[in-house]
Amino acid sequence: MAGRALRVSTAVVLVVGLALAFVAARDDPLELLCYFTIQVDLAYLVVLPIGSADRPRTALTVYLVVTGLVFVLVLANPWSGYSMVATADARGTVSDAGNLLLHVVAPPLATADWLTRRPRTAPPRTYAVSLLAYPLLWLTAILLRAAGSDPTQERYLYPFLDVNRLGYPTVVVNALVFATLVLLLGLTAARLSRPAPAARLP
């Protein structure tokens, strides 16, 4: 019963958060689909009802937690150096409410849901490394998209990926930091997926 309530709560939070995000981005809703958070949230809503999709659900839960940590520690942190709190396009009542739901409320709910429905079998040792495939593909697409656009427009989506301002070496370092976070969370999830050892008989 608790697991079902968690799934429903997570779905409601994501749907409302996404709706608010698209309302806030009404001038260019297609641009919103390029964001890592939005892609992960939409994919999670698709996978959520599938009870047997352990590995995709685990991957998406890891990505959700990553988006939450990056938002809280980097994008919404005025002392991070990559804060977006002063960016007019990223602020507003509707946008702030959507960000709160998608980055602060949804990740803990998704984590709690995953913990109540942990995979019964542990993934292979390479699983944590495989979690880097999608973020790497996304990063490549975003950088290529920005490189081929008008340099006077802001097309890098996130300030820590802004090659024009930071240069490729810094962007690569930032990407490696986030890749390390994905790896650590993936390893943790793999560890938690292992069933508890049976109690030994005396």
Q: What is the mean pLDDT of residues 172-190?
A: 95
Distance CA 153, CA 126 (A): 39
Q: What's the pLDDT band for 25 if we cut at 50, 70, 90? A: confident
Distance CA 165, CA 163 (A): 5
Per residue, the 3-state secondary structure of 11-68, as one string, reads: HHHHHHHHHHHHHHCCCCHHHHCCCHHHHHHHHHHHHCCCCCCHHHHHHHHHHHHHHH
pLDDT of residue 121: 79
What pLDDT digit, counting tens, does each position of 66-119 carry? Answer: 999 999 999 998 888 888 765 555 557 888 899 999 999 999 999 999 998 888
Flag whether pLDDT at 152 surpasses 60.
no
Flag whether pLDDT at 14 surpasses 60.
yes
Please answer whether residues 46 and 127 qualify as being in contact, where contact means their C-beta atoms are separated by less than 8 angstroms: no
Q: What's the pLDDT band for 58 if we cut at 50, 70, 90? A: very high
Q: Find where tokens 């990407």 sit.
A: 175
Q: What percent of the chain has pLDDT over 70?
A: 86
Average pLDDT, the chain: 86
pLDDT of residue 200: 42
